[in-house]
A and B are shown apart, each in its own frame.
Chain A
Amino acid sequence: MASKKYILGVFNDDEDVLHAVSDVREKGIKIHEVYSPFAIHGLDAALGYPRARMGVPAFLFGITGTSLAFLLTFWTMGYDWPMNIGGKNFIPFPTNIPIVFELTVLLSAYGMSFVFFGMEGLFPGAKPVIFDERITDDKFVMAIEVDKNVVSEEDIFDVLKKSGATEVNVKEI
């Protein structure tokens, strides 16, 4: 695969990179991605990403868990082998709530997390594209793909420098 050329603006501070994102975007430069050692609040909005909506898979898996749990308890206790336990109803709704609750939480948590892993391509053995090994330590890196931009390389360098990047590197991956 042909390697792609990236310009990397390295920042020392989360607020610097946050301001830099709007500076760079104002100039009409497309940002590939911004990497940081921790979550920066408002960065996804500044980059123009749609709001993360992990609640959707959480809800869908959760409601699946609820339905499966109701199905399990109703079918086993009410239909498959109805048993008289102390003269209670065959389908004792309130006593099924704990099971229904636990299965809802279980499916919701795992379903959502695996959807997240899938969306981000996270799995053991995944080969990450690491622009700079200091990202997971203390540097904030803005990666700009050269070919996807009409702005010249020099201009990108300038903008990054002006907006507070301590280093600007070029990397081909």
Chain B
Amino acid sequence: MQVVSPIREHLVTGGKTLHDVTEDISRHVEGNPTREWKMVFGIALAVLAYGSYWAYRTWFFGLGNWGLNKTVGWAWDITNFVWWVGIGHAGTLISAILLLFRQKWRTSINRAAEAMTIFAVLCAGSFIFFHMGRPWLAYWALPIPNTFGSLWINFNSPLVWDVFAISTYLSVSLLFWYIGLVPDLATIRDRATGVRKTIYGALAMGWTGGARAWARYEDVSLILAGLSTPLVLSVHTIVSMDFATSVIPGWHTTIFPPYFVAGAIFSGFAMVQNLMLIVRVVYKLEDYITIEHISLMNKIITVTGSIVGVAYITEFFIAAYSGVQYESYAFINRATGPLWWSYVAMMTCNVLSPQIFWFKKMRESIVVSFVIAVVVNIGMWFERFVIIVTSLHRDYLPSSWTYFTPRMGDIGDYLFTFGFFFVCFLLFAKFLPVINMAEIKAVLKSSSEKNTKIENKA
């Protein structure tokens, strides 16, 4: 028996019964796609098709269609990679860390957040392949001896750690997501007929909901959460080490791992906020994704945004305090050099804009939440751009100083991942339950309006 404080907001409103939950969520899987869905899907497909053209050019003709030059040898490709990986952190964070902390509000958003994670990590992965230049040799990154002898990959390199970290993260997130889906797939199987029953039946793998299975299932989920929590922190730590272990002023910073992880959580929550606000309206799930959920996510966005802000300032201070002129110059150039506008964009979008959520009215406004979430995602893209490009474009040799301008190849490849992401997410939203029904049912009793009202009366 769980005691819920009467002042705590209800996680599920509208006095839903267990059956209502099944109906409300399964309806979208079972019905025909709506006109809005088809329209958005059409746009996503068009973006994917256009992006695919550029992806094809990058794949077959190489990196010449990017705006890279002799000095700036790493720009949008790695910026987009880090951006997508960062976004991919929210899903596992929501389901794993919030599970360990027993935060029940995660139940409404964890499924969609995990799906988003998987697609975002796939998008990030596609940039790894893009910027290999010769993607068909991607297997060289795996620990297999080369063709000329038994020369192995260098396990000292953070890029090799990245291969292990990203692929482990993708696999484990996929597993966590799928195990979470199994009971819900069984729900849909038991409601369906014909071909649909066969397909969802195969996907549900014969789940019956027996007590023994549930007990083990809960144990498995808890241990997976325990494993995923350090995993999610390790992934962005390792991504940050791609930079931090180098000797480039502006990258060579010990603060990178925690600062990148905070930034990843920040941008990931912003993306979840965006997607959930859309899903909420389109699927009419206002009773499941309540203002309370939106407000809680905004609080996390504000906290992580402020952590990132502290990191920006610390970085600046340490650069000056170190007395290393190259280090100091990298940071002064970052803020006042030719790319000052990107620094300003980063600071305002990431540090200033989320501070608006100190006001309850703003935190609970859907429009403000949506706009700020978009702004945060733009800001986090600029953060990576600032770190990567401003540190490179003025190197040790003033004669080779230059500016970076993206070309169509950069933009096209980015669009490709956008198209891919939204096509995947829309397919997920159509064919799989967007909210974890089993977990919602489990928290329904302690946190639905109907039940707590009765309790409070007594």
Q: A residues bordering B, Cβ < 8 Å?
A: 14, 33-41, 43-44, 47, 49, 51-55, 58, 72-73, 76-77, 80-81, 83, 85, 88, 92, 95-96, 98-99, 101-103, 105-106, 108-110, 112-113, 116-117, 119-131, 133-138
Q: How far is the CB of B301 from chain A (nearest CB, A)?
A: 27
Q: Which of B17, B179, B215, B223 contacts A44 (CB 8 A)?
A: B215
Q: How far is the CB of B92 from chain A (nearest CB, A)?
A: 11
Q: How far is the CB of A88 from chain B (nearest CB, A)?
A: 7
11 contacts between A and B (CB under 8 A): A37-B187, A39-B442, A43-B211, A44-B214, A54-B219, A80-B150, A81-B149, A99-B164, A105-B172, A106-B172, A125-B202
Q: Which of A96, A102, A109, A125 contacts B175 (CB 8 A)?
A: A109
CA distance A54 to B11 in the complex (A): 30
CA distance A109 to B169 in the complex (A): 11
With A38-B441, A72-B143, A113-B179 as contacts: A102 and B164 at CB distance below 8 Å:
yes
Please give 9 more A-B residue pairs, beta carbons under 8 A apart, in addition to A43-B215, A102-B168, A133-B191: A39-B214, A49-B212, A49-B215, A106-B168, A112-B224, A123-B206, A127-B206, A131-B208, A138-B18
Is B337 in the interface zone, CB < 8 Å from A? no
Q: Which of B22, B161, B205, B212 contacts A137 (CB 8 A)?
A: B22
Residues in B neighbouring A38, C-beta threshold 8 A? 183, 214, 438-439, 441-442
How many B residues are at the interface, by size bracket?
Answer: 35 or more
Residues in A neighbouring B190, C-beta threshold 8 A? 130, 133-137
The reply to whether B218 and A52 form a contact with Cβ atoms under 8 Å apart is yes
With A105-B230, A106-B168, A135-B190 as contacts: A14 and B445 at CB distance below 8 Å:
yes
Q: How far is the CB of A41 from chain B (nearest CB, A)?
A: 8
CA distance A54 to B213 in the complex (A): 11
The reply to whether B210 and A136 form a contact with Cβ atoms under 8 Å apart is no
Closest to B187 in A: A136
Residues in A neighbouring B216, C-beta threshold 8 A? 52, 54, 116, 119-120
CA distance A41 to B210 in the complex (A): 13
The reply to whether B209 and A81 form a contact with Cβ atoms under 8 Å apart is no
The B interface is mostly helix, strand or loop, or mixed, namely helix
Residues in A neighbouring B164, C-beta threshold 8 A? 98-99, 102-103
With A34-B210, A81-B152, A120-B216 as contacts: A105 and B227 at CB distance below 8 Å:
yes
Contact digits for B223-237, partner A, Cβ 8 Å, 1 yes 0 no: 110011011001000
Residues in B neighbouring A116, C-beta threshold 8 A? 179, 216-217, 220
Q: How far is the CB of A55 from chain B (nearest CB, A)?
A: 6
Q: How far is the CB of A136 from chain B (nearest CB, A)?
A: 4
Residues in B neighbouring A112, C-beta threshold 8 A? 220, 223-224
Q: How far is the CB of A57 from chain B (nearest CB, A)?
A: 9
Q: Which of A39, A77, A80 contacts B218 (CB 8 A)?
A: A39
Q: How far is the CB of A37 from chain B (nearest CB, A)?
A: 5
Q: How far is the CB of B187 from chain A (nearest CB, A)?
A: 4
With A81-B152, A105-B168, A110-B175 as contacts: A128 and B212 at CB distance below 8 Å:
no
With A36-B211, A76-B152, A105-B231 as contacts: A137 and B206 at CB distance below 8 Å:
no
Is B154 in the interface zone, CB < 8 Å from A? yes
Residues in A neighbouring B227, C-beta threshold 8 A? 58, 105, 108-109
Residues in A neighbouring B176, C-beta threshold 8 A? 109
Q: How far is the CB of B24 from chain A (nearest CB, A)?
A: 12
Residues in A neighbouring B437, C-beta threshold 8 A? 37
Q: Which of A36, A124, A125, A129 contacts B214 (CB 8 A)?
A: A36
Q: How far is the CB of A65 from chain B (nearest CB, A)?
A: 10
CA distance A34 to B211 in the complex (A): 5
Residues in A neighbouring B143, C-beta threshold 8 A? 72, 76
Residues in B neighbouring A88, C-beta threshold 8 A? 156
Residues in B neighbouring A126, C-beta threshold 8 A? 205-206
Residues in B neighbouring A58, C-beta threshold 8 A? 223, 227
Closest to B23 in A: A137
The reply to whether B210 and A122 form a contact with Cβ atoms under 8 Å apart is no
Instruction: Indicate the member of B202, B204, B216 with the most A CB atoms within 10 Å.
Output: B216
